[in-house]
């Protein structure tokens, strides 16, 4: 009985190897089994059939259906700067601007008596010279009389301010600011 089981197992193995792939070309094989002995038997399978060479490829099939639309891709890099365009034609000459007169005037400020020297001569008064609202302050200065220090002379808004201080209690001095004002007026 063990002999028969061994034979059948071997036969199944041979047949499964032989049928496992149809693309391999095999030579003809003959199998013969001889299980001799008092209860033995003889089995001959003969020649196995051979498989021929693989045939040529068939024609290409029809194209498949179009796939689904994909996700939008990332934004690409900014391109290089383009070439500069050609220079344009010269424009027409514009109309002449109307002629205007520049008016410049000097404005005198109030006369300020420099402070009376009290507590170490720290009192000061100021003189202010102002331009009109339609004028522009373009400069300024001051005039002083007597022995005094000018402690400040500067533009403030559309005016010029000047401050002075006497050198001693016995000195009497005055400070006066001046403003230079300008405006454009149509030519008459």
Enumerate the domain spans of the chain: 2-47, 100-186
Mean pLDDT across 115-126 = 56
In the predicted structure, residue 129 carries a pLDDT above the cut 90: yes
In the predicted structure, residue 36 carries a pLDDT above the cut 80: no
Query: According to the model, what pLDDT value does residue 16 have?
Result: 63
Q: Which residues contact 141 (CB under 8 A, 6 or more apart)?
A: 153, 160, 162, 177, 178
Strands (E), 114-173: 125-130, 136-145, 148-156, 159-166
Reported confidence tier of residue 123, pLDDT bands at 50, 70, 90: low
Residues 133-171 have pLDDT tens digits of 999 999 999 888 877 777 789 999 999 999 877 776 666
In the predicted structure, residue 22 carries a pLDDT above the cut 50: no
Q: Do the Cβ atoms of 137 and 129 come closer than 8 Å?
A: no
In the predicted structure, residue 112 carries a pLDDT above the cut 60: yes
Reported confidence tier of residue 121, pLDDT bands at 50, 70, 90: very low
Mean pLDDT across 62-91 = 89
In the predicted structure, residue 96 carries a pLDDT above the cut 60: yes
Reported confidence tier of residue 24, pLDDT bands at 50, 70, 90: very low
In the predicted structure, residue 113 carries a pLDDT above the cut 80: no
Q: Do the Cβ atoms of 22 and 51 come closer than 8 Å?
A: yes
Give CA–CA dist 72/175, Å, rounded. Answer: 80
Query: According to the model, what pLDDT value does residue 107 have?
Result: 95
Query: According to the model, what pLDDT value does residue 139 have?
Result: 93
Give CA–CA dist 21/14, Å, rounded. Answer: 13
Q: Which residues contact 43 (CB under 8 A, 6 or more apart)?
A: 7, 32, 33, 34, 35
Overall pTM > 0.95: no
In the predicted structure, residue 88 carries a pLDDT above the cut 50: yes
């Amino acid at each position: 009985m063990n002999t028969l089981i061994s034979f059948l197992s071997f036969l199944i193995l041979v047949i499964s190897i032989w049928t496992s792939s149809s693309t391999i070309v095999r030579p003809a094989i003959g199998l013969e089994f001889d299980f001799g002995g008092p209860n033995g038997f003889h089995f001959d399978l003969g020649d196995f059939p051979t498989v021929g060479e693989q045939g040529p490829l068939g024609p290409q099939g029809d194209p498949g259906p179009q796939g689904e639309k994909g996700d939008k891709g990332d934004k690409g890099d900014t391109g290089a700067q383009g070439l500069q365009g050609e220079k344009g034609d010269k424009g027409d000459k514009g109309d002449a601007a109307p002629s205007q007169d520049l008016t410049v005037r000097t404005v005198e400020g109030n006369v300020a008596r420099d402070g009376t020297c009290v507590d170490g001569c720290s009192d000061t008064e100021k003189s202010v010279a102002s331009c009109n609202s339609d004028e522009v302050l373009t400069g300024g200065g001051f005039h002083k009389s007597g022995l005094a220090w000018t402690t400040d002379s500067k533009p403030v808004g559309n005016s010029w301010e000047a401050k002075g201080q006497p050198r001693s209690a016995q000195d009497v001095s005055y400070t006066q600011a001046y403003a230079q004002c300008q405006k454009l007026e149509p030519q008459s």
